[in-house]
């Protein structure tokens, strides 16, 4: 099962990693990019058509959808009964 922590993780000898643009980037690689390159990479990684969500991220998408629906219905708000 995919959880919200599946987006980044630790690898021996690497501080953190992130999956962006179909590959895994280390913090060091991302920091080596110019701010403009980082922004372009980030913008290119945004999926606007749900049909284009990679299959391995669909469980995460369903988890987020359930969380949002719970908030909308008021079940997950502080003090809600």
The pLDDT tens digits along the chain (81 residues) read 333 343 444 444 445 555 666 678 888 888 999 999 999 888 887 888 888 888 888 899 899 999 999 888 886 666 655
Give the C-alpha separation, 17 to 3, whole Å. 16
pLDDT value of position 55: 87
Helix (H) or strand (E) holding 20: strand 14-20
SS3 9: strand
pLDDT at res. 17: 54
């Amino acid at each position: 099962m995919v959880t919200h922590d599946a987006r980044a993780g630790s690898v021996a000898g690497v501080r953190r990693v992130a999956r962006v643009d179909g590959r895994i980037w280390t913090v060091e690689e991302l920091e080596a990019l110019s701010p403009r390159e980082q922004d372009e990479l980030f913008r290119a990684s945004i999926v606007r058509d749900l049909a284009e969500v990679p299959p391995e991220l669909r469980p995460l998408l369903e988890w987020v959808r359930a969380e949002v629906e719970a908030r909308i219905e008021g079940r997950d708000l502080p003090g809600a009964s």
